[in-house]
Each structure stands twice: as structure tokens, then as C-alpha cells.
Structure 1
Amino acid sequence: MKMTHFQYLNDLNNLVKMDEITKGPLPRWQRKCLDESNTSLASNVSLNTTRGSKSSNGKTPREEEDPDLLSPSQREKQRIMTENLMGNEGEGRILAFRDKAPAPPEGYQNSMKVIYTQSKTPGSVKGSCRYISQAPDRILDAPEIIDDYYLNLVDWSANNLLAVALEAGLFLWNAGTGEVKQLLQLESQGEYVSSVSWLQEGTHLAVGVSNGTVQLWDAAQEKQVRTLTGHSGRVGSLAWNSYVLTSGSRSGHVHQHDVCGLRWSPGGRYLATGGNDNILNIWPAVGSGQIYSASNPLYTFSAHQAAVKALAWCPWQPNVLASGGGTADRCIRFWNCNMGTLLNTVDTRSQVCSLLWSTTYKELVSGHGFANNQIIIWKYPTMQKMAELTGHTARVLHLALSPDGTTVVSAGADETLRVWKCFQVDPAAAKKAATAASSSTSSSVSNILKRSIR
């Protein structure tokens, strides 16, 4: 029994006895001591092998004598490093181009460059960004409007009446009330209205007819005042200079060519005429009050390669004229008529049928035919496109500006009139202008009162 009990205790002691662990990770204190000793040893070895023990090629004597002692991976790394530093056969350099980089293709522009070179939007771009509606405010039917590049069939009066010629009839649309009434109807077979132009101030309307006559109408009284004769061909263009009316036709009455464009400059100093012979003439005004044109042109420009019908004088620079060419030309050109020089040329890539300047913004509107039948609003003088208005399914023959300068009407060969709100007045700017006008008026009244009291 005692022997059995003793054996039991002996077995129990053997079970709980902790033998020394000879395998597994070393304790942290032993690892730390070992790392320090290895570092010291490696430093000593490095110093001993560096001082005067390397040859001229940077190898230790042992490596130089027997490169086979290096492992394959070490030999490959050494080869790559030598090529990078010395090049093949010792002639190369790090990041050295053997040949010049190829030039980019013609017209290539890095679209990402702006992102990384401009930290903020330039002020000129900010100022040119404004909302322009891409849809017309309204669309009106214009049945039987004549699809003829050389005619001028739409004009907008200072009294907010839009005159539109539809073949043999002439209609007036009141843009304020929406009322439409017919002013005249030609009775002779085959005759049609070929041009219309309002007197700048007043209710008188000049109407050119295909038979070579010009009719003068009082729109307020709805009656014809007189008929002017002298042309032997249709009167395709009309322009007022104060109370003097100038007309142009195929008969060459204004000058020796077929006239399809005719515009007086603001103030009546110059008369611009464009012809089907691709010639643009500038005529000086002479005589009493500078209302009659001289017999010889001041300048003759032949840069256009097609008929010059679209003409428009800049309202804030009266000596600057914009002219547009037909399908073979497609360019808008700007002229300094004081100097007789070409200022700029812009290829619109479409037939230029009509031009007009904004009176509220420094912008130009162009109406186009082949190939896109669009309306473009340009920032002047940079000629940056502000908007491209589409919707007409045929060429935009005529443009007219409302008297308040906010609205453009376009007449297309698709027999529609489209009204566009292109130049809405900035409320802040309008308020500032009104305040300035009110202040000026108050100052004037105050001065008058002061003078009267004295």
C-alpha cells in the first residue's frame, strides 16, 4: 500500500515538473542583446572592408577576385545597376534621351493644361459667363416668306412694331400686345415685297417692291404717303439716314453693281454698300448736314469671296463695320472705316446671311445658312462664342433687334419667325443705372433751383 502511494506521488511530481524549453523564440532581453552585438560587428566589418580595401571599380577584393561567390540575384542586380549608371559600353547616362522627342500633331492642344496651370478663373471669363436661353421665347408662322439671300424682309421699329414681308403682303406684329395686322397687299400679278425699313424715329415705313418702286407708308395712319420711282430692277435694300432714304437695287442706282446690302453708319458719316460682285464699298457723306453720299467711294474692299449682303455698324464704335460673306466665303470681317483697314476675320463655316450688334452688351449676332442654319452670339472683340441657337430647319435670312435691345427675332426660309431673349438686362446693372439716372436728375433740378433762388 505504501509503495503504491509513493509511486503515485512520484508520478504526480513528474507531471507538474517544468522542463527547460530548448526550442522556440528567445526571450526579448536575449534578442535585444543579440541585435546590438550583431550591429556592432557589422559596423566593424564595414569599416574594415571600406578603408583602403576596395579597388577602383568599387568591389571588395574578395568580390573582385571571385565574382562567383555572389548569388545569381546579386549578380543580376549588380549588372542592372552598372548599366543604369554607366550605360551600355560606358556611354549612357541616367535619363538621357538618345533621340529628340517627337513633336505633337498639328493643332494638338493639351486639354488638361488649363486644370494644372490656372488656380482660379480669369476675370474676363467670369464676366462673359451669363445665361442665354437655348430655346426661342415663341415661334410665329411666316407662310410664303421668300427664300432669297439678297432680300431684306424684316425690320423692327422704335415703336415695337415688327414689319414682315410675306411675298405680296406686308404684315405688322405688335410685340407688346401680340396683335397682327396687314398693312398692304400688292395687286399686280407676280409682284412681291423685296425690302422693308423703318424710319429710326417715327411711324414711317419704306417698302421696296420687285417692280423697282419704293413705297412710303405711315403705319400709324395705315396709308401710303408716296411712291418713289427710278429703279429698273427690284429694290432689295433700304437704309435711312435721318429723314433721307437710300435705296439699292439690281439697276445699280447706288453704285455700278448689284446692291444687296446697304447701311448708314451711326451719325450718317459713312454709307456701306455690299454687292453681288463680292465688293464692299464705303462712301463718305458730303453736302449740307452730311446726308448725301459722294459720287466716288472712299474705300473699296475686295477681301470677301462671295456676295456681301450682311452689314452692321458697331453702335459704340461708329467707325467699325462688320460684314459677312455668302456660301463661298463664310467669313465675318471687321473694318476700321476711318483708316480703311481690316481689323479681323472670323471663319464661321456657314453662309453669313445677316448681322446685328447688341445695344446692351459688347456682342454681335450672326444668322447663317448652309450648312448649319444657326444663330451665333459672339463676344466682341475676342469673337468667343457665347451661344449657338438652333431650331431653324432652313437658312436664317433676316435678324432684327427689339427697341429695348433685349430680344432678337429671326426669320428663316423654313417659314417661321423665332423670338429669342438673348440680352436680358442684369437686374443689378439696371438698378444701378436707374439710381445713377435718378441722382443725375435730382442734381439737375437742384442746380436749377439754386440758380433761380440766386
Structure 2
Amino acid sequence: MKIRSVNTPASSNKTQSRSPLQEPFLQRRSSRENLDRFIPNRSAMNFDYARYMLAEARTGKENPATVSSPSREAYRKQLAEALNMNRTRILAFKNKPPTRKETILTDFALATHEAKPSKPRRHIPQTSERTLDAPDIVDDYYLNLLDWGSSNVLSIALGNTVYMWNASNGATSELVTIDEENGPVTSVKWAPDGHHIAVGLNNSEVQIWDSTASRQLRTLRGVHGSRVGALDWNNHILTSGGMDGQIINNDVRVRAHIVETYRGHTQEVCGLKWSASGSQLASGGNDNLLHIWDRSMASSDSPTQWLHRLEEHTAAVKALAWCPFQGNLLASGGGGSDRCIKFWNTHSGVCSNSVDTGSQVCALLWNKNERELLSSHGFIENQLTLWKYPSMVKIAELTGHTSRVLCMVQSPDGCTVASAAGDETLRFWNVFGTPEVAKPAPKTNSEPFAHWNIR
């Protein structure tokens, strides 16, 4: 340790810097002050202790231990035993303090490594990838003039004629042209097998065709009192909805095809959709009503009572879509004075959410690969809107049609959407992207259709 010396003026008495273990320096206060001379008394000195101290100093040890008397040593020993002072350092860790467990970091690293990387944001083209002419399409909100079968063939009704467009090779063919007195065609719907198609007519009849052989198998007559604007299949049951407000289940395997009747609408039925399980049917009408029908409650002797009668829409209900990942979830869309998309729990009949879209809702489609919903609209924008479910945040708006988008269907792989509008165009949109693994088209037994040629 360095000790700083203090310099004083020459006129003053010099002072010596203090060092450890030295007695303090005594200054003479005055030359006239009388002090007794110090005469050491050697008889009082302990020369043995002095020699001991000198010997310890020569060994180079700092702070040598003092020699203690036997009584003091006994006291120290007793005190050490009482306080356990023979142990190692007080308030000190015997071992190294435990380090932070590495398992926390290890688990975090494993979780981070094993977690699936976030998907890159999907690019959604804002324009259609293909546009086809659709002349003479009937600009009628209540009709369903477009469908895409499981064999990747799209059908569209243009006036009195039903055309087929093969999406695999782009080939176009004509299926049937209806006489003027019976037309126009008011609805088309592919059977689950992708080879047979039902065609609803303005004269209340329903024709069933074999698209592969381009041959009519049978005609269902006496089903409705006026045009048939909505069709849907439930295995071998063809369900039809007419302007008369009736819904009929037709078993195409037998001659007496009318097996059940659903009565609940007072105006034209414009929307029909069976759930994926085939246990529930949703129907929408021009009377602003939405009905949920349970197949198990169907009766052939008397009209079937609805399971739920939902009256929240304030305009015609045409757009219907069952959720592919939640069997009891149904989305419905209202017409021009309603403009809302509503979500329903079809077990309880409760509306879980309602979103005002700002324009007429013409059709709804769920994305089979993501939790998204696509809606098509009428005036003013005539757009397709992609929504994130369940937040219902707009992801994209697809424009191009110059008139209301009447119909909208989905390709079998769930990627491409086709829309038909009053501007007489058919547009294809790559809006749902490409799935990681394309699901094969469902296979159905064609045996129930063997007797469709019953007249």
C-alpha cells in the first residue's frame, strides 16, 4: 500500500508519515516546555517475547499471530466449540452455487426445433386466370346454373342448353338443349359419382342424364307445380326445391320416386345444401327463411317438420355452405336488403356470428384446405371476397365481373373456383391455393343408378 507523504514549508517543523504498527510521533509543543526524560526499565521487558516477534518477522509472514496465554487459549477453544467456529467459512457456499438448469434452454430449443415452421403467406392472384364466354346465361338470382362434378367436368346452363367443360383438357361439349316451351334450364347438379347429372327445368320437370354416354336416363314429373331452381344430392336421393315452396326427396332407384316432402317455405326455394354426413338439409327461400331439416325426422306419410326455423335474415336466402371442418356449422348469405353472412350451430339453431358485407350475397364456398370462406356478391362491386374464419377479416377482394356474380362452384381438389355472372362470362380463380396433398375424388357405388332409365 502506498502512503502519500505530506510536504510542509521549510519554516515549519517536519512531520513524519505514519506507518502501521508504529507509535504516533509526539511533537514538542514549545522549547520552554519541560518534559521528563524517558528512561526505559529493562527489568519490565519480556525479552523472550521480543526475540519471538523478531524471529516471526524474519520469516516474512504478514500479521503474525500473537502469543496468547494458556487461559486465553482455553477460552478460545471453548468459544470455538460453542459457536462451531471450526467449520469452513461462515456465510460461504461449500460448493459452487448451482448454475441455471440447462434443461430449460434445452426444452425450449427442442420445442423450437420441433415446432412446424410458419407457412409463408399465400399469394392470392387478384385477377382470374381464365375467362370463358357464357352467352345467354339467365340473369336470375334465384337459379343455380353452375356445378363442378367430381370427375373434373364443369356444367353450365346457358338459356335452354346445358354445356360441359372438361377442366382436364379444356374440351367443351353440349349435353342437352331443351325445347322452348319447356325451358329455360333453371338448375343443374352433378351426382356424387361425377357421371350423372340432374337438370331442373322451367316446366317443373327434372331430367337425369348419363354424361358419359350423353343419354337421358329418366324424367321426374309431377314433382313441383312450377320451375325447379334448386337441386342437391344425398347419395341416391335427389332433393329438389321449386317456386311452389316445396322440397321433395326423390329416390332415383324406384319408379315412385317421391319419398318425402318438406313443407315450410311460402315462396320459392332458391338454396338447398345437404351436410357432408347427409343427416341434415339446409334450405333457403325467397320468404327470407332458413330451415334446417333432420333426415331422421323425415316421414313418407306426412310432410316433415323442420328441426329449426331461422328468421334472422331480412332478404332471400340463396347462399348456403356447410363447414368442412365442423359438421354442425352452416354459413348462410342474404340478398340485397340483408347483405349479411350468418353462421349457425345447426344442432342448437343459434346464430354464432353475423357480418354485414355491404352488398347482396349470391354464393358461399368454404376453403377445404384453410379456415377461410369465399363469398360472391352483387351490386355494387360484383366482387368475390375472401374472409378469414372465424375473425371474418377480409383477406382479398377479387374483381373482374361487371355484373352480379350469380353462381360460384369449387373444383374437386378444392383449389380453383369458377364464377358465373350476369355479364355472360365464366371466370376461374386460383383463390384457395394448392393443397399439400391433393385428396382423391370420392368413389361412389354406381349401382344405385343402374335403373335410372325408368320412364
Q: Same fold (TM over 0.5)?
A: yes
Structure 1 moving runs of 4+ over 6 Å: 290-294
Is 1:410–2:402 an aligned residue pair?
Answer: no
Distance in 2 (alpha carbons) for counterparts of 1:387 and 1:247: 34
Structure with greater contact order relative to length (CA < 8 Å, sep ≥ 6): 2
Paired residue for 1:232, among 225, 228, 236? 225
How high is the sequence identity, in percent, across the aligned residues? 50
- Can you list the C-alpha shifts for 1:414-443, whole angstroms capped at 9, x where unaligned? 0000000112226xx449x99xxxxxxxxx
Contact 2:182 2:203 in 1 (8 A): no
1:99-248 residue pairs with structure 2 within 5 A? 129-189=121-181, 191-229=183-221, 230-248=223-241
Distance in 1 (alpha carbons) for counterparts of 2:234 and 2:192: 8
Where does residue 81 of structure 1 map in the other structure? none
Tell me the CA shift for residue 286 of structure 1. 1.7
Aligned residues between the structures: 307
Distance in 1 (alpha carbons) for counterparts of 2:301 and 2:130: 40
Amino acid at match of 2:413: D
Distance in 1 (alpha carbons) for counterparts of 2:303 and 2:431: 38
Where does residue 281 of structure 1 map in the other structure? 291
Where does residue 298 of structure 1 map in the other structure? 307
Where does residue 446 of structure 2 map in the other structure? none
Amino acid at match of 1:276: N
Paired residue for 1:343, among 338, 342, 352? 352
Could you say what secondary structure the match of 2:246 adopts? coil
Paired residue for 1:332, among 329, 333, 341? 341
Distance in 1 (alpha carbons) for counterparts of 2:165 and 2:362: 23
Contact 1:238 1:262 in 2 (8 A): yes
Contact 2:182 2:201 in 1 (8 A): no
Distance in 2 (alpha carbons) for counterparts of 1:239 and 1:359: 19
Tell me the CA shift for residue 128 of structure 1. 8.3
Further displaced range: 200-209 or 212-221: 200-209
Is 1:387–2:396 an aligned residue pair?
Answer: yes
Structure 2, unpaired ranges of 5+: 1-114, 248-262, 441-455
Where does residue 396 of structure 1 map in the other structure? 405
The structure with the larger Rg is 2
Bigger helix share: 1
- Return the TM-score normalized by structure 2: 0.64
Where does residue 376 of structure 2 map in the other structure? 367
- Can you list the C-alpha shifts for 1:4-60, whole angstroms capped at 9, x where unaligned? xxxxxxxxxxxxxxxxxxxxxxxxxxxxxxxxxxxxxxxxxxxxxxxxxxxxxxxxx
Contact 1:207 1:216 in 2 (8 A): yes
Distance in 2 (alpha carbons) for counterparts of 1:356 and 1:213: 28
Amino acid at match of 1:200: P
Contact 1:154 1:411 in 2 (8 A): yes
Where does residue 73 of structure 1 map in the other structure? none
- Can you list the C-alpha shifts for 1:54-97, whole angstroms capped at 9, x where unaligned? xxxxxxxxxxxxxxxxxxxxxxxxxxxxxxxxxxxxxxxxxxxx
Distance in 2 (alpha carbons) for counterparts of 1:407 and 1:378: 16
Contact 1:283 1:293 in 2 (8 A): no
- Can you list the C-alpha shifts for 1:253-298, whole angstroms capped at 9, x where unaligned? 212422111111111111111011101010111279x999971100
Aligned-residue Cα RMSD (Å) equals 2.4
- Return the TM-score normalized by structure 1: 0.65
Tell me the CA shift for residue 129 of structure 1. 3.3
